[in-house]
Structure 1
């Protein structure tokens, strides 16, 4: 992936993350602010409605106002507590829209002297504001009720001062804005980090794809070059018989077979990456199956002067993909034969215990260093540093083996054989 495309993709990830985080914080902030504001004003409105529905309280206010005007003695204790003189207030209005209880209001009257009676929204709670004698704006929640059977008083208005609540809400809003700014800055940093983090697997995948294409091209080029050279050589000797050029033809056919096997392996890896391959599991008797796979290799090992031992445990019927496990064992047995010489030993054992099918393939060959035991499962990796064709491999056999084991939910391990060599341990769970 070129730098310009990588940078563009990272910017896109950054913007997507930033917009997502900003939207979440903004929506969350608005919801919290609305809930806090609503809950605080709901308490005020609830108290107002409770007083408006209390007929004893309303009658007491009207009677008390009349007694104050008549200079009568005050009434006794009321069942409903009177409103708080600072936060709550009762105003009585005449038909002409004048305040009838100035004496009761006392100094608070100067807070309401600019207030005007409004009869448009009777019986409903509304928000109003007025200016006191000092020009300060006061905010109230108010409900106005009509009064019947009264000569002088036509309306009673209940008010609750909401300036403390408004101040608290404003302070909360400021704190919320500061928090959102802080979280906004954090979201920028987090978006930058996530965009970089999201790009890592993409760049890694792109790098692996490049390496795969380069290695595949290299491996395909070699047999094609050999075949081309052999065919061109045949054209230089048109009079030769097939028998005379049998060696050239045989070498060409050998390279064709190698090329066919390589393309099949590459196709298998490509299809495994796209998850288009599925296992065809079936019940299989393990000992007859293993004997079928191992016997040809035992004969080949004996022909090469190598010792090949088979140790099979109790026969059981297990469920697995017969074709893929066969392919897996061939890959591992090929490697065991390639990296051992005459006089060395190969041991294959199989057993079923602890709900696991355990297969071990041990050899006394050249072995694998500790740091390379994980790398050998990478595609096109070979233990030899040079790309020689001494062992005839392409470095993708163990990658296919790892895929087959993973598809069976198993595990594959490489261990050292004492005194030398390598032991491949396969573990398959029995379900």
Structure 2
């Protein structure tokens, strides 16, 4: 129970830490992405504006009404760190321009003519480059010779005017492939750091869950000790009460159906019920503290089953329930004799309690390989599907009113499961409402 709780706490703590990590990475990556691209966009736009003002000033100073005089002045852009630039007149004819490699010009012109519709803007395009020519790239750019690749371009446009009249356009493109490579490297770095952080988060979560479990474990330990001590102390007065009732019945002449006889009978039943409850509580308290060890021995299981059926026969007879046994004549097993006897009584008692008068309870025993199979089948009220996973929990009762009437207190099946678990076996139940339930137990031979 504590391991499951600590595991859930560890998963919650680590999940929260990992969630914060993911949010941090997404925020940092997004901020860097926006800031870096905006900075590149601003630099490119500033460059285009400067060159456009230079051209317009030259037109004004030389009183030129068009851009044709700039056809032989490409030196104006020498040294500018761009992938290409083009100057186009008002008729769409390119007057001058340059690019890192002339083979790119048709593709670049197609990008320029198709991409811009109206106004001055900055946009991104991808230029597909096949077999990048040797020497085609410029120093400092992230390109490998003779390698097929895509070049990410940031392109800016600026309209040119002379005395308020549109005379042409200036296009400048900048290679920003290195920025996207930087983002790719950043993702890899974040991924590596994330994996390291996840490992650290798991370690921190385990430590945090351990610290969180300390007060819970301490409180549970004190509660367990109290239940164990109280159960142990209650057994003596309950035994005295039962002996006193027996003595009263022997010393007092009781009339059949008289008031005193009824009172003594009720007292005996309640004392027995309390004794049974105290015994169950003591068993569970010891099971939590792991103070009960299995006493393994080899014995014939069939006589044990017959004795268990004999012990519950009065309960079945009171409700006219038919008991049945299906078992080989001899069934040698190696297990804890006392615990398996307790297991049988719990399962049979539970089946009889929840079977209506005139019903039937069957006990089936078999040996398959090195495993003992115990099957208890009844024709009782059945269990709803949503309750099947809870019936082995302590103090859980599907129908509390019926359980009280039947004398149940919700501990029997939890003890049964504990007995099976200590034998490293399994217990499962199938049921249909109104048709009955079947409990199937598999107990491995502890000597094999």
What TM-score do the two structures reach when normalised by structure 2? Answer: 0.45
